[in-house]
């Protein structure tokens, strides 16, 4: 007689070999614009949940002990993760019975009174220096090493490590804000792998840090809240397609922030940022009944 546990693993094994060949990530994410509500929801919701865990399962202001080893329905948390006390944070997830994997990158910890927020702020400053090829890191960043601050190199390395450790896994990259930037750049570096992100900052200035990036318009998609100042900032600086959740009313500061040349340090943009950019806003949008609208660049009618 076969013990129940052995029987169960047999069952899983046979299901696995059946499903493995079939369930891969789509090479184009255009169904987010044109597919059914079900397809859209089934794709975006788990990625939003994983992105939420990048904030609550890693060291920093948003850490919740109960989430440390947490996963989401249908997915196994990978043991492989990047969660140093200071540095780039990313989690991995593996879907049951398929060879699909997700790598989710964390965005910025906005609380600068703790080391996680301090190093994130310095890492963002480091990325800006890479974009502009000039300037100096703020004095308070001198305490961190370049190795700690260079999140893009760490993200590329982490993706390579994961690919080597799991050669049969097909990866999709996700993340919010700074995490969206890392996800899309890693995807571009890794043969145009798929990426679905939440609120990507301007991406093209950092392309010169990649070797032969592969950029596919519907291969990566970023989702925005209509009034997220990063959406204003990123215009013309994405290669990905984008979809936007419309809002009936602009949060305080957003109209003024959008009207002027975008200055993220202005009072209007700061107010708008906290009202429309944080991941809380994005979770609300994901769980709302509203679906984001994806303007089609090939059919855009200018009126
Ligand atoms: C998470 O897993 C690690 C390693 O197994 C363990 O040391 C830690 O206590 C776990 N955390 C929680 C909150 O259960
Ligand atoms: C920011 O971090 C500090 C130090 O860890 C903590 O005392 C404070 O409550 C945090 N503030 C917020 C708004 O989370
Ligand atoms: C940086 O290091 C110096 C000297 O070790 C220390 O006095 C200072 O408090 C540190 N600054 C931060 C932001 O940690
Ligand atoms: C979103 O896509 C539309 C259509 O391709 C484009 O006009 C717009 O600039 C894009 N938004 C951003 C932030 O790049």
Residues 6+ apart with CB under 8 A from 26: 194
Rounded to 10°, the helix 115-132/151-165 angle is 100
Structural domains of the chain, with CATH: 25-249 (3.40.50)
23: tokens are 């369930």
With a cut of 50, which residues of the chain have pLDDT below it?
A: 1-20, 300-303
pTM: 0.91
CB of 242 within 6 A of ligand 4: the answer is yes
- Ligand 3 atom 6: the closest Cα is on which residue? 143
pLDDT for the residue 99: 95
Compute the distance from residue 43 Cα to the ligand 2 centre, in Å: 34
Question: Tell me, what's the pLDDT at 276?
Answer: 98
Strand order in the sheet with 75-77: 75-77, 90-95, 100-105, 170-176, 195-198, 220-225, 241-245
Tell me whether strands 170-176 and 100-105 are parallel, antiparallel or unpaired. parallel
CA of 113 to the centre of ligand 2 (A): 6
Q: What is the pLDDT of residue 260?
A: 86
Q: How far is the CA of 111 from the centre of ligand 2 (A)?
A: 6
Residue 201: helix, strand or coil by DSSP? coil
Q: Looking at ligand 2, which residue's alpha carbon is closest to its atom 3? A: 113
What pLDDT sits at residue 295? 87
Lining ligand 1 with CB less than 6 A are 65, 68-69
- Alpha-carbon span 174 to 184, nearest angstrom: 8
Residue 298 pLDDT:
59
Would the CB of 124 count as within 6 Å of ligand 4? no
Q: Are 105 and 183 in contact (CB under 8 A)?
A: yes
């Amino acid at each position: 007689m076969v013990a129940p546990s052995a029987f169960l693993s047999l069952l899983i094994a046979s299901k696995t070999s059946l499903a493995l060949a079939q369930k891969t990530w789509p090479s184009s994410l255009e169904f987010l614009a044109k597919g059914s509500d079900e397809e859209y929801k089934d794709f975006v919701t788990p990625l939003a949940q994983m992105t939420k865990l990048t904030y609550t399962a890693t060291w920093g202001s948003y850490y919740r002990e109960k989430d440390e080893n947490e996963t989401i329905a249908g997915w196994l948390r990978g043991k492989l993760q990047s969660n140093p006390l200071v540095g780039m944070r990313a989690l991995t997830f593996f879907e049951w019975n398929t060879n699909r994997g997700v790598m989710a990158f964390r965005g910025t910890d906005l609380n600068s009174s703790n080391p996680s927020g301090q190093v994130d702020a310095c890492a963002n400053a480091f990325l800006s220096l890479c974009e502009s090829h000039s300037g100096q890191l703020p004095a308070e960043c001198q305490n961190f090493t370049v190795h700690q601050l260079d999140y893009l190199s760490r993200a590329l390395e982490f993706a390579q490590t994961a690919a080597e450790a799991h050669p049969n896994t097909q990866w999709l990259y996700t993340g919010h804000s700074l995490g969206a930037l890392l996800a899309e750049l890693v995807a571009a570096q890794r043969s145009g792998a798929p990426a679905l992100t939440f609120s990507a900052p301007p991406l093209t200035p950092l392309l010169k840090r990649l070797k032969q990036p592969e950029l596919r318009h519907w291969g990566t998609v970023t989702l925005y809240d209509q009034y997220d100042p990063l959406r204003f900032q990123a215009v013309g600086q994405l290669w990905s397609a984008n979809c936007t959740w419309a809002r009936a009313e602009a949060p305080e500061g957003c109209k003024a922030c959008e009207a002027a040349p975008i200055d993220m340090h202005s009072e209007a943009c700061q107010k708008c940022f906290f009202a429309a950019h944080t991941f809380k806003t994005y979770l609300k949008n994901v769980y709302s009944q509203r679906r984001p609208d994806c303007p089609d660049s090939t059919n855009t009618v200018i009126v």
